[in-house]
């Protein structure tokens, strides 16, 4: 659209030089078209923002209601209830709680490892791959605790470590038991602090991961 507008502005018939009494009219039309183009561009940007942004984020921002991260809010409990009701019997490999949704990697009845997104009481099956860890230890929705997740977040914040908490996970690491892992983004070296899922404020293990502006946390990992 910018190319078209530029052509209009530079078109010979749009020149304001000369003595024709109607010489200024094309200028007005061009300005009108520019205004329409800008309005359409703003409208498209608004639609994209609504589509990409998490449901409810914009409405809460407009209403002045503070947006609390899901992993530290009380509404996490109701979302975990949905996980237990809909996915409770499935063997789980990993569960990530981000700022606005829960991502569950679980083995479905077809034997495939499915990724489910749980958000605002809805469950969406977004992907599936072969279960590369078939036969290995798994956990279930009964092992998940909103209170435990919030406690781990609180413990990390009390440590005063620099960086931003991006997600909290229930996961297994090779040769390590199930843990509650808090992912703290702080470029160039970020941290993952592991806690005992049964309770306690002690960090049982810490990982350091190199991150930079190209590192994405989408999907519950830094890659």
Burial of 149 (0-12, 13-18, 19+ CB in 10 A): buried
**Residue 217: inside a domain, yes or no?**
no
Residues 115-168: pLDDT tens digits?
999 999 999 999 999 998 888 889 999 999 999 999 999 999 999 999 999 999
Residues 7-33: pLDDT tens digits?
333 433 343 444 444 555 555 555 444
pLDDT value at residue 173: 84
**Residue 64: inside a domain, yes or no?**
no
Residues 47-73: pLDDT tens digits?
333 333 444 444 444 444 557 999 999
Range of the domain at 89: 70-210
**Residue 169: inside a domain, yes or no?**
yes
Are 37 and 115 found together in one domain?
Answer: no
Side-chain-side CA neighbours of 195 within 13 Å: the count stands at 22
- The total number of structural domains in the chain stands at 2
Are 141 and 43 found together in one domain?
Answer: no
Mean pLDDT of 24-43: 46
Are 38 and 108 found together in one domain?
Answer: no
The token duo for 87 is 């996915």
Residue with tokens 């005063």: 160
What is the pTM for the complete model shown? 0.69
Residues 96-106: pLDDT tens digits?
999 999 999 99
pLDDT value at residue 174: 80
The token duo for 119 is 């958000």
Are 80 and 170 found together in one domain?
Answer: yes
């Amino acid at each position: 659209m910018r190319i078209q507008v530029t052509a209009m502005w530079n078109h010979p018939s749009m020149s304001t030089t000369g003595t024709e009494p109607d010489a200024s009219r094309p200028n007005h039309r061009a300005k009108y078209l520019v205004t329409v183009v800008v309005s359409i561009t703003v409208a498209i940007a608004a639609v994209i923002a609504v589509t990409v942004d998490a449901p409810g984020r914009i409405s809460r921002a407009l209403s002045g209601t503070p947006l609390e991260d899901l992993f530290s809010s009380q509404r996490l409990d109701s979302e975990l209830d949905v996980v237990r009701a809909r996915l409770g019997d499935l063997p789980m490999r990993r569960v990530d709680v981000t700022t606005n949704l829960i991502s569950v990697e679980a083995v479905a009845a077809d034997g495939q490892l499915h990724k489910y997104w749980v958000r605002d009481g809805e469950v969406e099956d977004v992907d599936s791959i072969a279960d590369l860890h078939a036969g290995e230890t798994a956990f279930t929705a009964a092992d998940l605790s909103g209170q435990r997740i919030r406690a781990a977040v609180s413990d990390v914040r009390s440590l005063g470590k620099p960086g931003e908490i991006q997600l909290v996970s229930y996961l297994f690491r090779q040769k390590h038991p199930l843990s509650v892992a808090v992912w703290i983004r702080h470029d160039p070296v970020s941290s993952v602090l592991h806690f005992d899922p049964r309770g306690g404020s002690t960090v049982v293990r810490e990982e350091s991961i190199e991150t930079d502006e190209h590192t994405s946390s989408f999907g519950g990992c830094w890659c």
